[in-house]
Each structure stands twice: as structure tokens, then as C-alpha cells.
Amino acid sequence: MFCATHPDSRGPGAPLRFTGLLVLLACMASAQTPSAFNRGGRYPDHWWTPVPEANKPDWEILPQAAKPGEVILSKRHELGILSNFAATPFTLHGKRYASVEGFWQMMLYPEGPDDPRAKFPGIEWKHTREEVAQMTAWDAKDAGALGEENMKRMNIDWVSFEGKRFPYWSVTRGEHYDLIVAAMRAKLEQNPKVREVLLSTGDLKLLPDHYQEENPPAEWRYFDIWTQLRGELRH
């Protein structure tokens, strides 16, 4: 774009300052185009296309928040397939799950009638463990929120998988972290599109599309896990 102010073609009486302002604003916009982040044209420009802040969800980090060399794993385009919310079914230990989110939230729910969570007085479970395992996106997240509320009422801090209990929230990497990594690896290995999209991010720094609590457990940092798995693929 030619970014010098120029006479308005409407005639000698046209307001030059107004025209110059329009050109200046257009030039400022062009300086913030996605191509400024897309080194050498290696990546799709729309990964950085600005999205209006108005009416965005409070939880969302928009694509334009990235700095050069970074990319937000936004659900607004194909990088959203890397979200735990994505409908990317996989099988782990012989069982099928509809999403990593469904797998994650399922662990909050009783494993059977003998599970103490199932027998706790006054606690209602609106879904079964199997139902949550087949959920995706906000359905799974909302089911997990109900599960967490029940955990608070029961004063427990553990979840379970295949009969084994372990902390749900821990500053050190433990059983829960290992299971989430295993689920994400299964998602990657069993969904060719996930592999394709992950590798397409090259050497960009991967960042979340939602705000997280300060110093969350390692399994909450799914973008770091994807960076680890991307490195494994490349080597």
C-alpha cells in the first residue's frame, strides 16, 4: 500500500486532512496484518487474523494475542482440533472415548455401585461415567463442573481410573498427568488430521486459547504437551 498522504480526487475543495487520516489508518491496519507474524509465508495467515474483542467469551484468548513466533491454538480455525474439546475419538486400554475432555471429566465420576462416590449420602450424579466418556466440548466440561461440585461436597481430592485413586490436582507430575498425556498421544496416533495439523505448526510456540489459573498442574498445560509430542514426531 502507498502510505503517503495524497490529494483527494474529488476536487480542489476536498478536505485533505480527512483523506490523509483515512490513509494513515489503513496503513496502521496493514502493519498489523497476519503476514507480520507469518515468517516466510510458512503458515496460514488466518491463524493470526484479528477477531473483534466485542462480545467475545470471557475465557477466550484471541488469535491476535500472539507475538511473532507464537500461535494461539484457537478453536476458531483448524488449530482447534488440538483442543481437548475437539471431537477426536480414540481408544485407550480397550475403551473408546469421544474426546480428551470426556476422558478427563469421566474420572470424576463413580466407576460403579461400590465406588464410595456412588454411595455418598445426598450426592446426585446427573450422568454416568460412561455417558461422560462419550461427551465432547462444553457438554463434557459442564459434566465435569458438576463432578467437581460433588467432590467439594464429599471433601475428596481424588479421581480414579481402572479402580486406582490418585490426586486430581497436584503440583508434581503424577498418575493424572501420565493418563492425560497417554490420552493425547492416543488422540494423535489415531486421528491423522491431528498429526497433520500439529506438524503444520512447525517451530511456532504453541499457546492456549483460554485463560488459566496461575501455576496450574502440568496436565492443564495442554499446549506444552503438544509441543512435547510434536518434538517426538519430528525426531
Residue 51 resides in a domain: no
Give pLDDT, residue 37. Answer: 61
177 and 114 housed in the same domain: yes
Within a domain: residue 229? yes
Average pLDDT score over residue span 10-37: 42
Total domain count for the chain? 2
What is the rounded average pLDDT of the residues 198-210?
Answer: 97
Q: Are residues 123 and 15 part of one domain? A: no
Q: How confident is the model at residue 41 (pLDDT cuts 50, 70, 90)?
A: confident
Q: Is the residue at 70 inside a domain? A: no
Q: What is the pLDDT of residues 56-101, one digit of tens each?
A: 999 999 999 999 999 999 999 999 999 999 999 999 999 999 999 9
Is 61 a member of any domain? Answer: no
Does residue 45 lie in a domain region? no
Alpha-carbon distance of 232 to 226, in angstroms, equals 10
pLDDT for residue 24: 38
Residue 112 and residue 179 in one domain: yes
User: In this structure, what C-alpha cell is assigned to residue 97?
Assistant: 472415548
pLDDT in the model for residue 34 = 55
Please say if the pLDDT value at position 128 is more than 70: yes
pLDDT at 39: 57
Task: Produce one character per residue of 51-69: b if its CB has 16 or more CB atoms within 10 Å, e if not.
Answer: eeeeeeeeebbbbeebeee
| CATH number for 109 | 1.10.357.40
Is the pTM value of this prediction over 0.85?
no
Residues 85, 159 share a domain: yes
Is 60 exceeded by the pLDDT of residue 30? Answer: no
pLDDT above 70 coverage of the chain, percent: 83
> Do 4 and 108 share a domain, yes or no?
no
Whether residue 53 lies inside any domain: the answer is: no
Contact present, 170 and 179 (Cβ < 8 Å)? no
Region of residue 11 (left: phi > 0; alpha: psi -120 to 50; beta: else) = left
Same structural domain, 99 and 209 = yes
Residues 91 and 202 in one domain: yes
For residue 36, being part of any structural domain is answered with no
Q: Are residues 214 and 154 in the same domain?
A: yes
208 is a domain residue = yes
Contact 186, 92 (CB under 8 A): yes
Question: Is the per-residue pLDDT at 26 higher than 70?
Answer: no
Whether residues 85 and 4 fall in one domain:
no
- What's the chain's average pLDDT? 87
* Residues 108 and 217 reside in one and the same domain: yes
Phi-psi region of 15 (alpha: psi -120 to 50; beta: other; left: phi over 0): beta
Structural domain that includes position 12: 1-29
